[in-house]
Amino acid sequence: MVAVAVIVEGHGEREAIPILVRRVAHAIDPQLVLDIQHPMRIPKSRMLSGDHYERALAMATARTGRRGVVLTILDADEDCAAVLGPALLHRGQEAVGDTLTLVVVVPREIEAWFLAAAASLRGRSGLPNALNPPEHPEAIRDAKGWLADQMGGAYSSTVDQPSLMSQFDLDEAERLSPSFARCRARLAELLRRAARQGSASSEADGAD
């Protein structure tokens, strides 16, 4: 069993990100059992100020143990993901040492991943049957607004984000979204490492 702690900034992500983690885990090993802790939500403004993020990481590590995985995911919005991501990762490594930690900062908004896999969402969750992805999904400044337009103005992150997260095609999103491709690959790598560590620990505990 692999313990996973999740830190997010939005209400919709509290339900949606555990779905993503389970889907990535199932793709690499359908037999992999996860223990996903109830996600912690920290508004981005607090995550980037004071020691709120470090305190959340300490709580997450206490829940998962040193052999678990801690995933932090947030939108870049107008910030530079290439700067914000490494900065948060460094803070995390300083706070919790060698815990398996992943920080994902999505360019603009996490909904860009759904835009990248738009063809796989045709006719679902109120989306039109002729839906096609925009040319550069991660460059869309208002991915939520794009989805709302396609849905007739009815997009809700708390309702639709978990639903779309369970339905969008991972391989399709990976082809058009570099950030999703990196997230999926890195998350899969850490889940595998955690599973190996857990297996090695179990073997050691059962040794004569």
Mean pLDDT, rounded, of the chain:
91
Has residue 205 been placed in a domain?
Answer: no
Residue 113: which domain range?
A: 2-196
pLDDT surpasses 60 at 208: no
Over residues 96-107, mean pLDDT:
90
Number of domains into which the chain is organized: 1
H or E element at residue 198: helix 178-205
Has residue 55 been placed in a domain?
Answer: yes
**Residue-level pLDDT at 201:** 43
Over residues 177-192, mean pLDDT:
97
**Residue-level pLDDT at 200:** 47
Query: Of 4, 5, 14, which is closest to residue 110 (Cα–Cα)?
Result: 14
Query: pLDDT confidence of 206, banded at 50, 70, 90?
Result: very low
Over residues 92-120, mean pLDDT:
93
Q: Is residue 72 within 8 Å of residue 42, measured between CB atoms?
A: no
**Residue-level pLDDT at 52:** 93
CA distances from 170 to 23, 79, 119 (A): 9, 25, 12
Measured in whole angstroms, the distance separating CA 48 from the mean position of its chain's CA atoms is: 18
pLDDT surpasses 90 at 154: no
Has residue 65 been placed in a domain?
Answer: yes
Has residue 106 been placed in a domain?
Answer: yes
Print burial letters for 105-142: b (CB count within 10 Å at least 16), e (below 16): bbbbbbbbbbbbbbebbeeebebeeebebeeebbebee
**Residue-level pLDDT at 67:** 81
**Residue-level pLDDT at 27:** 96
Region of residue 43 (phi > 0: left; psi between -120 and 50: alpha; otherwise: beta)? beta
Q: Is residue 189 within 8 Å of residue 99, measured between CB atoms?
A: no
**For residue range 36-74, what is the model confidence (pLDDT) as tens digits?**
999 999 999 999 998 999 999 999 998 888 789 999 999
Has residue 206 been placed in a domain?
Answer: no
**Rounded Cα distance, 151 and 102, in Å:** 32
Query: pLDDT confidence of 199, banded at 50, 70, 90?
Result: low
Has residue 192 been placed in a domain?
Answer: yes
**Residue-level pLDDT at 44:** 94
Structure tokens, 86: 């490494």
